[in-house]
Amino acid sequence: MQPTWNSRFAQRTQRMKSSAIRELLKLTERPDVISFGGGMPAPEIFPSEEIRLACDRILKENSAKALQYGTTEGFNPLRQMITEEATKNGLHCDLENILVSSGSQQALDLLGKVFINPGDNILVESPTYLGALQAWNAYGAEYVVVKSDEHGMLPDSLEEGLRNNPKFMYVLPNFQNPTGITFSLERRKKVVELADKYGVPIIEDDPYGQLRFEGESLPSLAILDAQMRGQSNSRYDGNVIYLSTFSKILAPGIRLAWVIAPPEAVSKIVQAKQGADLNTSSFNQMIAYEVGKDGFISRHVEKIRSVYHERRDVMLDALDEHSPKSIHWTRPEGGLFLWVTLPEGNDSAELMKEALKQNVAFVPGGSFHPLGGGENTIRLNFSFSNPQTINEGISRLGMVFKAHIH
Amino acid sequence: MQPTWNSRFAQRTQRMKSSAIRELLKLTERPDVISFGGGMPAPEIFPSEEIRLACDRILKENSAKALQYGTTEGFNPLRQMITEEATKNGLHCDLENILVSSGSQQALDLLGKVFINPGDNILVESPTYLGALQAWNAYGAEYVVVKSDEHGMLPDSLEEGLRNNPKFMYVLPNFQNPTGITFSLERRKKVVELADKYGVPIIEDDPYGQLRFEGESLPSLAILDAQMRGQSNSRYDGNVIYLSTFSKILAPGIRLAWVIAPPEAVSKIVQAKQGADLNTSSFNQMIAYEVGKDGFISRHVEKIRSVYHERRDVMLDALDEHSPKSIHWTRPEGGLFLWVTLPEGNDSAELMKEALKQNVAFVPGGSFHPLGGGENTIRLNFSFSNPQTINEGISRLGMVFKAHIH
C-alpha cells in the first residue's frame, strides 16, 4: 500500500528547482552568520507605526470590506492611487491599465502563464533576476541572452537576440538585480525602438526605481514607449508591461505589487489571477492605500534612500579596504545590490563554503545566468545589514578572498 | 506601430475563461440586487475586534518579522497550530506535512502546476467547484466525471472513472460546493479504498468541514486513509492531499489557507509556490496565529454555525413557501450553499436574466459541470444575506419561478 505521488508529478515539476537563494538562506539563518545573501529591506525603517494606525482605522471603520473577498483586479482606491502616481511621473494611465498582484513574483508567474508555451524563447539579460527564471522555467521557457556593459544591454547583441523572435523580452533597467547596473537614457531608447522594430513586447521590472540615491532619475521604458507612440497624454496602450512593488517602499510582508499594462493584457492577466488566487488580500490593499493616500510614501522613500545610500557607501569603502586588488565590483546608484567579479577561474560557489566557515554569506553569481557562466561572480546585498555589521561582514569576506582567490 | 500582445498569448491563455461567477457578480453589485450568487461569509460576524487587537500587538511587538519576507512553507507557529488542530481531530501530522497558501485557490493552482500535464485526466464530481476547474483548465486538464447521489459519489461510477487512470481525483466530501451534499461514512471509506486500489491520489477539498450545524461529524478522507495505512499515530504519508482554509472560519480578506500532504508532495508544492509568490503574507499569517492561538477559532466557529444554521432554515422555509411544486432542492447539513433543480428543459442561465429584472441573483448551475449538462440547476448561497433579506430574495425568486418555469 504505497502512496502514488512520485510517479504522478507533471513534466514541468522536473523543471522546478528549489531556488538556490532560498536554500542558501536557510544555511545563513544561524544568528552568528552575517548574510549579504538575501534581498531584504532594512527592517529598522519599516513604517510599522503608520501601518498600525492604518490597521486600526480600517478595522474600526471598514472591516466588512477589508475582511471580505475582493475583485481580482484589486481594490479600486489603491488602483486609482497607482494611476495618479504613475501619471504624475510621466506615464499616463487609468484604472483599466492596473492590476494589483500578490507581490511582483506573482506578476512574473501570471505573465508566464499568459504568454509562455513550452519551448518559447524569452530574451533576458545575463545575469538576470533569478525569481523570473524560476517562475518561467515552470512554463517551459527557453532563454536567449543579451550581452551588457555598465550602461545596459548592448544594442548589437540585443538586435541579434530579437532576430530569434522571442515571446517577450525581460529587462530591469534600474539598479538591476543582481548587478546593480542602470541602463543609460540612450540604451533605454534603443531598447524601446528595437523591441518595436521586431514586434517583441517588453516586460519592464522596476522594483527599485524609486530607490535612487545618486545621479539623475531616468524615464522608464514604458514612458519612452508611450512617447514614441504619441500616447503621452492618454491611456497607455503600448508595447511594455511595467511591474513595480510596495515591497521595497513600504514592506514586503504585506505582499503587494502592481502591473501597468495595455488594457487587453491586463484583462488576460486578471483571468490568470482568478484561477491563481482569486484576489490579493483586501485588507493588505486597504493598508497600502490608507498609509499611502496622503503622500506618506514619497516622504518615507526619502528615508529609505538615505539609509541605503549610507549602507552602500559603507560597503564600497569596506570592499576598498579589505579586498585584494584582483577583485572588481559595481557602484550602483540605487537599489539593494552590488556585484563582485573575481578573477576568471575562481568559483564563487566553492568560495561560499569557505565564507560560511567565517560566518559570512553571499549569493554565488552562477545561478543568475540562465545559460550558465558567471561562476566567478557574487551578489552582495547592502540594504539589510546595518553599517557596523556591513563593515564586519566585508572584513570577514576580505579575509576569505585573500586566503582563497587565485 | 502596433503593440504586439494579441498574437503572443500562450495556447493555455485560450483555455482561460473569465469565471462566470465573477462576471456575474459584477452584474449583481447593484445595491438593489439581492444576490445569492457569491460564496461570501457573513460580514456581520467577522471577528474584526480580535483581528484589530492582534494587528496592534503584532505591529507593536514584532513588526520587523511581520513586515519582512518569510519562508515559503509558512510561518512556523501557524503551521504548528495547524498540525495540533489536525492531530486533535484525528489526523496525526507534523510540520513537514504543512504548507500555508494564499487562499485555497492558490493551493488548487499549485497542485495543477505540480501534477497536470496537458491532456491529463482529472477525476471530479459533476457538478464540482468551479474554481478548481478554472485553475486546472490553464494546465490543459481534461475531466472524467463520476455520478453521485445524495450520499456522494456512486462506487460503480467511481470505479469506472478510476479505470481511466486519472492523474488524481478531486472531491469535496463536506457540504459540497455547489450542491451542499455530504458523503456518508460508507462512501468515504469506499472512495479511499478504491483510490488506493487503482493507485490514484486524492485531493480532498474541505473548506466548510467545521461549519456543520446538524448531524454527526464524519472523518475526513485523509483520516480514513491514515487509518487504512496504520499511520494513525505517526506523521501522515498517505494518498490524500487535504486542503482547508481560514476564509470561512476567520475571514477571506486575509487570504490564508493550508495544505496537509505527504512530505514529498509538500516539498514539490513549496517549489511551485516559490516561483508563484515567494511566500504568503507574514503579517496575515501572524494575525491568524495571534487570533487563533488560545482557542478563539473554535469558539468563533460555534457562532458562525449558529448564524448559518438559521439562514439555511430561513431559506429552506422560504423556498417551501414560495416555490412551485415542480422544483426540488438539497437540505445541506452545513456549509454555505444549497442546490436547486428545476424540471428538465428549463434553462437557469435564461432564468437568471428574468431574476435580475426582479433584482435577485443566483449562479446558474451549468458552469459547475465540466463536461456540460445541469442547465436546469441553480446554486443558492445562504451565508451572506441576513434572514430578512433571504426571505425577500426567495420571495422574488419564487415569483420568477412561477412566471417562467415550465
Residue B7: band (very low, low, confident or very high) from pLDDT cuts 50, 70, 90: confident
Q: B110 and B122 in one domain?
A: yes
Distance, CA of A103 to CA of A16 (rounded, Å): 20
The burial class, CB within 10 Å (0-12 / 13-18 / 19+), for A199 is: middle
Q: Is B104 on the interface with A (CB under 8 A)?
A: no
| Residue A332 within a domain | yes
CB-CB contact of A244 with A103 (8 Å): no
Give the position of cell 441553480.
B378
Q: Is B80 on the interface with A (CB under 8 A)?
A: no
Residue B110: band (very low, low, confident or very high) from pLDDT cuts 50, 70, 90: very high
**Contacts for A337 with CB less than 8 Å, ≥ 6 apart:** A39, A175, A177, A178, A179, A180, A379, A380, A381, A382
Q: Is A57 on the interface with B (CB under 8 A)?
A: no
CATH number at residue A174: 3.40.640.10
Q: Is A279 on the interface with B (CB under 8 A)?
A: yes
The burial class, CB within 10 Å (0-12 / 13-18 / 19+), for B279 is: buried
DSSP letter string, B196-238: HHTT--EEEE-SSTT-B-SS-----HHHHHHHHTT-TTS---S
Q: A302 and A287 in one domain?
A: no
Q: Is B16 on the interface with A (CB under 8 A)?
A: yes
Mean pLDDT taken over chain B: 95
Q: Is B119 on the interface with A (CB under 8 A)?
A: no
| Residue A60 within a domain | no
Q: B285 and B147 in one domain?
A: yes
Q: Do A103 and B278 touch (CB under 8 A)?
A: yes
pLDDT at B21 over 60: no
Q: Of A15, A69, A117, A200, which to mutate for an interface test with B (greatest number of B Cβ within 10 Å)? A: A69
pLDDT at B18 over 80: no
| Residue A192 within a domain | yes
Q: Do A255 and B56 touch (CB under 8 A)?
A: no
What residue of B is the nearest CA neighbor of A266? B5
| Residue A61 within a domain | no
Distance, CA of A254 to CA of A101 (rounded, Å): 11
H helices within A213-366, ranges in order? 221-228, 263-277, 282-292, 296-322, 348-357
Distance, CA of B114 to CA of B259 (rounded, Å): 14
Q: A73 and A132 in one domain?
A: yes
CB-CB contact of B328 with B308 (8 Å): no
**B positions 375-394 inside 8 Å of A (CB):** none
Distance, CA of B150 to CA of B179 (rounded, Å): 9
Q: B214 and B165 in one domain?
A: yes
Q: A335 and A276 in one domain?
A: no
CATH number at residue B311: 3.90.1150.10
- Convert the pLDDT of each residue in B31-74 to its tens digit: 899 999 999 999 999 999 999 999 999 999 999 999 999 999 99
A325-360: burial string, b at 16+ Cβ within 10 Å, e else: eebebbebbbbbbbbbbbeeebebeebbeebbebbb
Q: Do A281 and B279 touch (CB under 8 A)?
A: no
Q: Do B252 and A69 touch (CB under 8 A)?
A: yes
Residues of A in contact with B105 (CB under 8 A): 275-278
Q: B324 and B224 in one domain?
A: no
Give the torsion through C-alpha atoms of B230, B236, B242, B248, to 10 deg: 110
Domain boundary among A264, A295, A326: A295
pLDDT of residue B6: 73
Domain boundary among B241, B264, B295: B295
Q: Do A102 and B237 touch (CB under 8 A)?
A: no
- Convert the pLDDT of each residue in B131-183 to its tens digit: 999 999 999 999 999 999 999 999 999 999 999 999 999 999 999 999 999 99
Give the position of cell 508591461.
A241
**Of A218, A223, A233, which Cα lies nearest the Cα of A260?**
A223
Which of B4, B68, B108 is nearest residue A252 as measured by Cβ atoms? B68
CB-CB contact of A113 with B15 (8 Å): no
> What is the average per-residue pLDDT within B211-221?
97
Residues of A in contact with B193 (CB under 8 A): none
CB-CB contact of B363 with B397 (8 Å): no
Domain encompassing residue B217: 69-295
pLDDT of residue A12: 78
**Contacts for B70 with CB less than 8 Å, ≥ 6 apart:** A253, B279, B280, B282, B285
- The angle at the Cα of B171, spanning B151 to B243, to the nearest 5 degrees, equals 125
* CA-based max dimension of chain A: 66
pLDDT of residue A24: 64
Q: Do B271 and A16 touch (CB under 8 A)?
A: yes
Q: A268 and A170 in one domain?
A: yes
What residue of A is the nearest CA neighbor of B225? A3
| Residue A5 within a domain | no
**Contacts for A53 with CB less than 8 Å, ≥ 6 apart:** none
What residue of B is the nearest CA neighbor of A261? B5
* CA-based max dimension of chain B: 66
As a whole-number percent, the residues of chain B with pLDDT over 90 amount to: 91
pLDDT at B19 over 70: no
CA distances from A289 to A7, A274, A294, B249, B282 (A): 46, 22, 9, 26, 19
Backbone angle region of B372, left / alpha / beta, with phi > 0 → left and psi within -120 to 50 → alpha: left
| Residue B4 within a domain | no
Distance, CA of B137 to CA of B131 (rounded, Å): 10
pLDDT of residue A30: 80
> What is the average per-residue pLDDT within B84-112?
97
Looking at CA atoms only, how far is residue B259 from chain A in angstroms? 14
Q: Is the CA virtual torsion B339, B345, B351, B352 positive or negative?
A: positive
Name the domain count of chain B: 2
| Residue A6 within a domain | no
Looking at CA atoms only, how far is residue A167 from chain B in angstroms? 6
Domain boundary among B244, B278, B295: B295
**Of B344, B349, B351, which Cα lies nearest the Cα of B326?**
B344
Q: A114 and A148 in one domain?
A: yes
| Residue A58 within a domain | no
DSSP state of A234: S
Residues of B in contact with A8 (CB under 8 A): 115, 167-168, 201
Residue B262: band (very low, low, confident or very high) from pLDDT cuts 50, 70, 90: very high
Q: B384 and B368 in one domain?
A: yes
pLDDT at B248 over 90: yes
pLDDT of residue B140: 93
Distance, CA of A205 to CA of A170 (rounded, Å): 7
CB-CB contact of A327 with A340 (8 Å): yes
What residue of A is the nearest CA neighbor of B167? A8
Q: Is B138 on the interface with A (CB under 8 A)?
A: yes
Cell digits of residue A365: 553569481
CB-CB contact of B194 with B153 (8 Å): no
Q: A303 and A291 in one domain?
A: no
pLDDT of residue B1: 67
* Paired sense of beta strands A363-364 and A377-381, if any: antiparallel
In order along its 406 residues, chain A shows pLDDT tens digits of 666 677 788 877 777 765 565 666 667 678 899 999 999 999 999 999 999 999 999 999 999 999 999 999 999 999 999 999 999 999 999 999 999 999 999 999 999 999 999 999 999 999 999 999 999 999 999 999 999 999 999 999 999 999 999 999 999 999 999 999 999 999 999 999 999 999 999 999 999 999 999 999 999 999 999 999 998 888 999 999 999 999 999 999 999 999 999 999 999 999 999 999 999 999 999 999 999 999 999 999 999 999 999 999 999 999 999 999 999 999 999 999 999 999 999 999 999 999 999 999 999 999 999 999 999 999 999 999 999 999 999 999 999 999 999 9
Give the position of cell 577583485.
A327
Residues of B in contact with A277 (CB under 8 A): 102-103, 105-106, 109, 255, 277
DSSP state of A90: T
The burial class, CB within 10 Å (0-12 / 13-18 / 19+), for A151 is: middle
pTM for the full predicted model = 0.96
Beta carbons within 10 angstroms of residue B34's beta carbon? 23
Q: Which residue has the higher pLDDT, B14 or A290?
A: A290
Distance, CA of A144 to CA of A148 (rounded, Å): 13
pLDDT of residue A9: 84
**B positions 189-248 inside 8 Å of A (CB):** 196, 199-201, 228-229, 237-239, 247
Q: B100 and B41 in one domain?
A: no
Residue B143 phi/psi, 5° resolution? -125, 140
pLDDT of residue B16: 72
